[in-house]
Amino acid sequence: MTTPAPSASSAASPSLLDAADAIVFGSPTYMGTASGAFHVFAEATSKRWATRAWQDKLAAGFTNSGSKSGDKLHTLQFFTVLAAQHGMHWVSLGLLPGWNSSTASENDLNRLGIFLGAGAQTDSDRGPDGVHKADIATADHLGRRVAAQAAVYAAGRAAVAA
């Protein structure tokens, strides 16, 4: 089942997420971790945790901050722990690092060299329109990878049930 990404308002509707095959967590990295709003969301998932509503779903994550590192890894690790607590299966970025040699370019996919999920950097004085094109393309790659893995996972479930 392919479910469209929830907006901030629909994220409050856990039934939408309950029906999805995969959930991609996303948040800005702020003060070294996911935003306070994401922490509120994570805590609100405890009812889902108690009923194992998200058990065996696929999970992935993305984050953005103002600096190249900006503790994005910590935010992605927070997402992986949340996913593990729910019994979910993590889908990594699956890309080698870009922009890491003299022949590489800042326009390479995974230019920030993050393996756990998609990371983006936005100059703090440019706002949301300042997200680097390579980071957007990297996030797009992650979305396509999650969708492909969800299709494989669903086909495997169907084969086992047959």
| pLDDT by residue, tens only, the chain of 162 residues | 444 444 444 455 778 899 999 999 999 999 999 999 999 999 999 999 999 999 999 999 999 999 998 899 999 999 999 999 999 999 999 999 999 999 999 999 999 999 999 999 998 888 778 899 999 999 999 999 999 999 999 999 999 999
Q: Are 132 and 121 in contact (CB under 8 A)?
A: yes
Take residue 105 and report the two structure tokens written for it.
């370019």
Take residue 26 and report the two structure tokens written for it.
């996303």
pTM for this entry: 0.90
Instruction: Using CA atoms of 142, 148, 149, 152 in order, give the dihedral in degrees to the nearest 10.
Output: 180
Alpha-carbon gap, residue 147 to 88, rounded angstroms: 15
pLDDT for the residue numbered 128: 77
Average pLDDT, the chain: 91
Alpha-carbon gap, residue 95 to 81, rounded angstroms: 21
Sequence-distant (6+) residues with CB within 8 A of 31 are none
Burial 94-118 (b: 16+ CB within 10 A, else e): ebebbeeeeeeeeebbbbbebebbb
Residue 162 buriedness (CB in 10 A; 0-12 / 13-18 / 19+): exposed
Please choose, from the candidates 47, 60, 52, 39, the residue with its C-alpha nearest in 3D space to the C-alpha of residue 114: 60
Instruction: Using CA atoms of 40, 123, 59, 146 in order, give the dihedral in degrees to the nearest 10.
Output: 150
pLDDT for the residue numbered 149: 98
Q: Are 79 and 146 in contact (CB under 8 A)?
A: no
